């Protein structure tokens, strides 16, 4: 048993024994006082927020004066109707999970993916768990030296067998032979996991979607940004043989650094395309510089061996169009700033951010403004639909709705054309992501609102210059 995940392994063992009445939901928490109470009841109107008593529900309904005259915090009365609308998507969330035979819904509507991984012996920390390796809890002092991207300190990334730790038939292979045949060209899947699995030759028993949602979500965002071309059915067609390049800035990378080979999947989805995916964020910056500083000459790491900070490459077979992908870590700073465009990297074809939290983190604001000023297509995902709504308010407040006295600052920073671009209003389409990580995650023990990793997509800046048909 893996000690840090003892509870999940115990739950998995109970399921295997066929015990009845099992439920692994979180203990409910009151949406007002935030005390845990198994007897919490849902708001009778929206059925989204839990309360431990009628008094708490009534208190939370009204607006509240914040401390030190910081303003008014809107009460539940403001959000109740919106919550009710969002709850209508719960069935769609559950339908995405129910495509898989390993689907299991707890009483709170969530899916406990770690219990599934424990049932397969895939839950733990270390190389023996391949791509599924989790962040460790701590040592005996309550500390850990672990950081995202630690796998890049090894001499080599694992191959498919060692990375996925699945039966051969459940692995999304990148290398092919008589036993492991490639998918057909062109990619002919619909926007759902079942169809993608069929095209990829995977049985639905495979839990690969729990990691493949990362590259498939990037694909989904690029599709919404009109950067996915319609492919001819014949590889000899002149359009099919015309090579193109695609430069993507991937902002806010974190845990993805520990299973980078899964992004190779994009090479199948963009035939005859050379993709360069640059990862920005403090974890990428930190592990890159740590890897170079503490390199071992006797057993050099992936980072110390990397040229131009390229940490992984893959090229698809010619029968699939020979798409290629290069993954790079940005070492110019711990965060993306407009200076990246001015003094270094060429302008990207797109900017993406997964599980971004645009309205929650001030670091995103420079990317929002720069994408609008320079016309760079930009799209993100969020856990919850409520976050998307807040994002839209933020984006408009930083761009089209800026006060007139910001004109001079905009011109000094982004030039006459950039300042004009910032004043333009653009539609910001958002939708539920069909390639989200299957299964609803908790949106808080006090909430039943639908939430998932890569759950909703939002176009921050549409592709108005070079859309691909």
Confidence of residue 443 (pLDDT cuts 50, 70, 90): confident
330-349, pLDDT tens digit by residue?
Answer: 999 999 998 888 766 689 99
Q: What is the pLDDT of residues 276-311, one digit of tens each?
A: 999 999 999 999 998 887 766 777 889 988 888 999
DSSP output for 207-244 = -THHHHHHHHHHHHHHHHTT-SPPPPS-TTSHHHH--E
Gyration radius of the chain's alpha carbons? 23
At 88, is the pLDDT very low, low, confident or very high (cuts 50, 70, 90)?
Answer: very high
**Closest alpha carbon to 75 in 100, 99, 120, 43:** 43
**Percent of residues, the chain, with pLDDT higher than 70:** 93
The pLDDT, as a whole number, for residue 74 is 79
Question: 230 pLDDT band (50/70/90 cuts)?
Answer: confident
- Nearest CA to 353 among 380, 334, 374, 385? 380
DSSP string, 79-102: HHHHHHHHHTTHHHHHHHHTTSTT
Over range 262-287, report the average pLDDT. 96
Cβ atoms of 267 and 325 within 8 Å: the answer is yes
Model pTM score: 0.94
Give me the residue label for tokens 């095209």: 199
Positive/negative CA dihedral, 465, 362, 357, 251: positive
User: Among residues 155, 161, 153, 156, which one has the least CA distance to residue 177?
Assistant: 161
Q: What is the DSSP letter of 167?
A: -
Please list the residues that pair with 375 across neighbouring strands. Answer: none
Angle, CA of 383, 122 and 183, to the nearest 5°: 75
CA 148 – CA 306 distance, rounded (Å): 18
Rounded CA separation 58/46 (Å): 14
pLDDT band at 428 (very low <50, low <70, confident <90, very high): very high
pLDDT in tens, 118-128: 999 999 998 89
Q: What is the pLDDT of residues 149-159, one digit of tens each?
A: 989 998 999 99
| DSSP track, 155-201 | SS---HHHHH-S-GGGS--SS--SSSPPPPSSP---SSHHHHHHHHT
Higher pLDDT, 28 or 65: 28
Q: What is the pLDDT, as a whole number, of residue 292?
A: 82
**Distance spanning both ends of the chain, measured CA to CA:** 52
> For residue 240, is pLDDT > 60?
no
Which residue spans within 9-127 are E strands per DSSP? 41-42, 50-51, 64-65, 72-73
Alpha-carbon gap, residue 292 to 206, rounded angstroms: 37
For 92-122, letters b (16+ CB in 10 Å) and e give: ebbebbebbebbbbbebbbbbbbbbbbbeeb
SS3 assignment, position 196: helix
* Backbone angles phi and psi of 217, in degrees to 5: -70, -40
């Amino acid at each position: 048993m893996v000690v840090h995940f003892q509870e999940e392994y115990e739950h998995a063992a109970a399921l295997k024994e066929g015990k009845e009445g099992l439920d692994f939901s979180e203990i409910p928490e009151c949406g007002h006082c935030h005390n845990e109470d198994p007897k919490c009841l849902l708001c009778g109107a929206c059925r989204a927020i839990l309360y431990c008593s009628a008094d708490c529900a009534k208190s939370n309904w009204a607006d509240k004066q914040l401390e030190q005259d910081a303003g008014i915090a809107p009460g539940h009365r403001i959000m109740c109707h919106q919550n009710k609308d969002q709850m209508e998507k719960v069935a769609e969330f559950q339908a995405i999970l129910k495509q898989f035979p390993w689907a299991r819904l707890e009483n709170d509507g969530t899916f406990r993916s770690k219990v599934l991984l424990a049932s397969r012996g895939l839950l733990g920390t270390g190389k023996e768990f391949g791509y599924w390796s989790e962040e460790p809890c701590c040592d005996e002092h309550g500390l850990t030296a672990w950081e995202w991207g630690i796998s890049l300190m090894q001499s080599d990334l694992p191959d498919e067998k060692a990375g996925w730790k699945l039966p051969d038939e459940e692995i999304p292979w990148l290398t092919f032979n008589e036993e492991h045949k490639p998918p057909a060209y062109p990619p002919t899947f619909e926007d759902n996991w079942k169809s993608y699995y069929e095209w990829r030759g995977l049985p639905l028993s495979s839990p690969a979607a729990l990691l493949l949602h990362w590259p498939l979500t990037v694909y989904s965002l690029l599709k919404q940004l009109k950067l996915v071309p319609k492919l001819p059915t014949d590889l000899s067609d002149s359009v099919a043989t015309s090579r193109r390049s695609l430069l993507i800035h991937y902002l806010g990378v974190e845990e993805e650094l520990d299973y980078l080979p899964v992004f190779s999947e994009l090479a199948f989805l963009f035939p005859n395309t050379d993709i360069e995916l640059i990862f920005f964020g403090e974890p990428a910056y930190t592990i890159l510089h740590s890897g170079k500083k503490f390199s071992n000459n006797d057993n050099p790491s992936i980072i110390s061996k990397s040229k131009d900070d390229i940490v992984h490459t893959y090229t698809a077979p010619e029968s699939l169009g020979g798409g290629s992908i290069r993954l790079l870590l940005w070492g110019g700073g711990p965060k993306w700033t407009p200076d990246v465009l001015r003094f270094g990297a060429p302008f990207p074809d797109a900017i993406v951010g997964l599980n971004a939290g645009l309205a929650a983190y001030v670091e995103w604001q420079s990317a929002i403004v720069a994408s609008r000023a320079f016309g760079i297509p930009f799209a993100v995902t969020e856990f919850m639909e409520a976050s998307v709504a807040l994002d839209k308010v933020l984006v408009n407040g930083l761009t089209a709705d800026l006060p007139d006295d910001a004109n001079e600052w905009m011109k000094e920073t982004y030039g006459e054309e950039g300042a004009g671009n910032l004043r333009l209003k653009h539609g910001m389409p958002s939708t539920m992501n069909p390639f989200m990580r299957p299964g609803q995650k908790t949106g808080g023990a006090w909430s039943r609102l639908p939430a998932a990793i890569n759950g909703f997509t939002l176009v921050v800046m549409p592709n108005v210059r070079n859309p691909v048909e």
